[in-house]
Structure 1
């Protein structure tokens, strides 16, 4: 009986923590709904708009966030989490190397075209924020792409200098950052020209030519074969 009584406060505490987490998530979801549905890209998102969508008084809203900075960073984090799930799912070894590059870029172009307001909010510098969720998200995507490139180089048994290996991480950030900058410029237009499929092809072609050209300058021949087939050849 004594043990049960000691456990009861812990149980109530866990339920209260879960309640707060659920309410916090509901507010974040409401903010994303307002951004996607009601606001022009780059427009200010007010606390009142979020509170109205969440169905709470604005003073109640701040029970779940320390201040406006905490709220804005939490919104950015959720945007990056949702985009990250989509992009990380595209970073796989399925298809040829060129198809892999196209698939990753296609995922980002598609998400950017459909979520311009969310993308703009995630890019904002939040006053007083200790970190920027977008930077962390870019780092995670770049890390996965670097792992794919590293695995592919190992599969080809390519000779890579120590200097090039040391430069691989910033090089991948260059590729990722270039694609993001291009999508940002394209998605800022009143009319998305060229259409998303054509823009994806162009961006994927340019990115692939950079990769292929750099490989050729290091005497690395990138075979136009599915990675799975290359794996089977390696095993044989």
Structure 2
């Protein structure tokens, strides 16, 4: 009796699992979408704060973005996280404006004035945004204020550090860089204090305008430790280029979307 025929195994169906390439592609697209959405929330938050003040709620920011507060919280753990994100945007805009201005200067003294001008222009063009990123926070690095000041300090110390280290001996470069960092922290604190005093006293008799205050604060900084350090590490004499009279005015950093807008106080 012939043996029973065993049917051949049916072919295996194609795997239902996606290959690694498609998974990676979707993950990348999702990450890009999430980053773009987060950046949009930051821009909306800045615009809302600029127009309505630093006390705006997360509900108001969400409404301006056309969504709900719960959706916003998917991108920021809390309001502090949003403050830090807006501060990062402000610092990037300060950096871009300062870098543009520094192309027109050739000495550390001109760089000091440019830094003061850019900073004061930023706080004047949008006091609400400035208050939002510097309020209700510890000066420790984890808070909005500390995060903002740390970033600005590193930014403004960079050109002075280059000025010191270019002429320093190899064994002095580390010391010169550390001195530049110390100066950056002190300079930012000084400019911040002078700027906040000025915001509180604008319009009062005797209060200088922004251009006058810029020149005065820069002169004070230069006459103090920054001038001393520069004289200890003189640079080769160069023919200075013509710097803009008021560089910050040509590279606005504040306001709604960092575009030139009528000042809020008007």
Bin the TM-score by the shorter chain.
Answer: 0.7 to 0.9
Residue 166 of structure 1: how far off its partner (Å): 5.5
Taking CA–CA contacts closer than 8 Å with sequence separation of 6 or more, which of the two structures ends up with the larger relative contact order? 2
> How is 1:13-28 mapped onto 2 (pairs within 5 angstroms)?
13-28=27-42
1:33 aligns with 2:47: yes
1:101 aligns with 2:112: yes
- Counterpart CA distance in 1 for 2:183 and 2:142 is 26
Describe the SS at the equivalent of 2:19: helix
> How is 1:1-236 mapped onto 2 (pairs within 5 angstroms)?
5-39=19-53, 43-91=54-102, 94-126=105-137, 130-131=142-143, 132-151=146-165, 153-154=167-168, 167-191=179-203, 193-210=207-224, 211-212=226-227, 225-226=238-239
- Counterpart CA distance in 1 for 2:65 and 2:43 is 8
- Counterpart CA distance in 1 for 2:158 and 2:238 is 21
Aligned residues between the structures: 219
Please identify which structure carries the higher helix content. 1
- Counterpart CA distance in 2 for 1:130 and 1:205 is 32
Describe the SS at the equivalent of 2:201: coil
Residue 45 of structure 1: how far off its partner (Å): 2.2
Change (3 A) 1:9 1:164: closer
- Counterpart CA distance in 2 for 1:77 and 1:222 is 33
Runs of at least 5 residues in structure 2 that lack an aligned partner in the other structure: 1-13, 242-266
Deviations 1:114-143 (A, max 9, x none): 121122222124489835421331332244
Report the TM-score, using the length of structure 2 for normalisation: 0.67
- Counterpart CA distance in 2 for 1:190 and 1:93 is 30
Residue 34 of structure 1: how far off its partner (Å): 0.9
- Counterpart CA distance in 2 for 1:201 and 1:69 is 34
1:94 and 1:227 in contact (8 A); partners too: yes
Runs of at least 5 residues in structure 1 that lack an aligned partner in the other structure: 229-236
Change (3 A) 1:56 1:205: same
Deviations 1:80-125 (A, max 9, x none): 2222322344445833443332222222222221121122222124
1:28 and 1:74 in contact (8 A); partners too: yes
Change (3 A) 1:151 1:35: same
